[in-house]
Amino acid sequence: VEHLANYIDGLAVPAKGGGTIEVFEPATGRAYALLPDSGAGDVEAAIDAAERAFPAWSGASVETRSRCLLRLADLIDQHADELARAESIDTGKPIALARAVDIPRSAANLRFFATAILHTQTACHEFDGSGTPGGERALNFTLRRPRGVAGLISPWNLPLYLLTWKIAPAITTGNTCVCKPSEVTPATASMLGGLCTLAGLPAGVLNIVHGRGDGAGAALVTSPRVPTVSFTGSTRVGQWIAREAGPKLKRLSLELGGKNAAMVFADADMPATLDTLARASFTNSGQICLCASRILVHESRFEQVLEGLVERAKAWRAGDPLEPSTRHGAVASRAHLEKIDAAVKAARGLGAKVHCGGGVIGADELPSRCRGGWFFAPTVLSGLDAACSVEQEEIFGPVVSVSPFRDEAEAVARANSTGYGLASMVYTQDLARAHRVAARMQSGLVWVNCWLVRDLRTPFGGMKQSGLGREGGTDALHFFTEPSNVCIRVDQF
């Protein structure tokens, strides 16, 4: 059994208390590694290291910081095969997906912010005078300074991808950080520490503390020495963090759950739309916060979409995630498998029709290595009422419901009828309709005739119960910096 370590002050270290947590391979159901079960003492040590590293790192030139991150990105590329394999073993996701998406995107996150910082104005100058009571002429400029130690907390669905998405803007802008990766999928984060050392990142700039959410995670969130917290995970934990951090006036970015609707209008391009819907529903076993969960279809196309989706779901076959041809892997944990199964059972209880899938994939349908694994069949449901729990609550598995609508107003109302507001999708050939519907979506992201097309410069995040704040581009650079305006009277010199 492999022993994973924390990375504190540039060194691989175990938890002070010596405790460990078992890490499982979802495709086999077997424990394959032990993780430090860190507590407040380990988090304090990491914060100490981050505080010590802060003056030199924040004072380093942007070129120095940029070069460090670019070297780290190159190292991720050089170790892409190992990292993709580790990500696949740890999460249960197909290795082809880890190779094509998770690992290249992790390097891209670092390069994006490492170069953005070279081209971003850190101060903006302007003359003023006519508007002031005494007619004083003054020069205003705005310093944007790093905020100190940032706490970065990430979930299990896209481990290295989402962690680097936070690390890159945090440290290029001169902050130092303490990361708390998901205890369910710690493997690639634990490899990242060694790569940081190889990249020449000074000790203490980036620290990784493994452990449970209510242990290491909570200690990081509540520490008065961590003024900035960037969290991606469930709405339930996000709400708890907001409650804890609110009175301390911490700056928070919360990327939370979703219940994303895809609206298919009568004029949608077929069969391209069906192919996109299948990817949006079943990629990564539906464990992407941006996956489609509710497919709303104009009544004239309802049967066609239902049949087309079921046909594609049946072809979305499970296999060993480490086989390069596998498209459908395992889900992240036994507990998550049970949660998905309970949601589908609840749907049946509510009178839903199950058109395909509908349960855990049996051992006899899996390759021998994976007989003990946690696989859920791609599932298509219909007949659910918009207000029922299954249509309102996130499932985060390979499960979608299909429901008909009569007109645009009904589609928009139903799409917006949950407490969440992360992403929505519109499929139509009518450009006026696309604009009209997009402008009425209560979601932070709207995709028209596509899904998961991402430009890292654009604001990323959700509204309502899907979160607070935006990541990406300028939003992320602003989140991790504190503006301070300096006004100098110039007509007296």
Nearer to ligand NAD, 223 or 326 (CB): 223
Provide the sign of the torsion angle of the four alpha carbons 295, 297, 303, 308, taken in this order: negative
Residue 129 to residue 131: CA distance in whole angstroms: 6
- DSSP assignment of 356-421 equals E--SBPPGGGS-GGGTTS--B--EEEE---TTSHHHHS---SSEEEEEEESSHHHHHHHHT-SS--
Q: Torsion over CA of 61, 66, 71 and 77, rounded to 10 degrees?
A: 170
Query: Which residues lie closer than 8 Å to 29 by C-beta, 6 or more apart?
Result: 334, 372, 373, 374
For residue 10, which phi and psi values (nearest 5 degrees)? Answer: 80, 5
User: What CA–CA distance (Å, rounded) separates 63 from 114?
Assistant: 9
The two structure tokens encoding residue 425: 């999708």
Q: Considering 289, 370, 391, 471, which one is annotated as catalytic?
A: 289
8-state DSSP, 100:
I
Nearer to ligand NAD, 161 or 375 (CB): 161
Q: How far apart are CA 43 and CA 41, in angstroms?
A: 5
Q: Which candidate, 207, 404, 185, 418, places its Cα nearest to that of 295?
A: 404
- CB-wise, 117 or 289, nearer to ligand NAD? 289
User: Whole-angstrom Cα distance, residue 145 to residue 389?
Assistant: 45
Pick the closer one to ligand NAD by CB: 158 or 297. 158
8 Å CB contact between 364 and 216: no
| Cα three-residue angle 378-380-385, rounded to 5 degrees | 140
| Lookup: tokens for 365 | 């349908």
Residue 457 gets which letter from DSSP?
T
CA 447 to chain centre: 17
The smaller minimum CB distance to ligand NAD, of residues 181 and 358, is found at 181
Q: Is residue 289 annotated as a catalytic residue, yes or no?
A: yes
Burial pattern 409-424, b for ≥16 Cβ within 10 A else e, equals eebbebbbebebbbbb
Active site residue 365: no
Catalytic residue among 25, 255, 391, 394: 255
Per the CB < 8 A criterion, the answer to whether 208 and 164 are in contact is no
Footprint on this chain of ligand NAD (rule: CB under 6 A): 153-157, 162, 180, 182-183, 212-214, 217-218, 221, 232-234, 237, 240-241, 255-258, 289, 394, 396, 422, 462, 467
Strands 11-13 and 228-232: unpaired
Q: 56, 295 in Cβ contact below 8 A? A: no
Report the nearest approach of ligand NAD to the CB of residue 237 (Å). Answer: 3
For ligand NAD, the closer CB: 184 or 199:
184
Catalytic residues, which ones?
255, 289
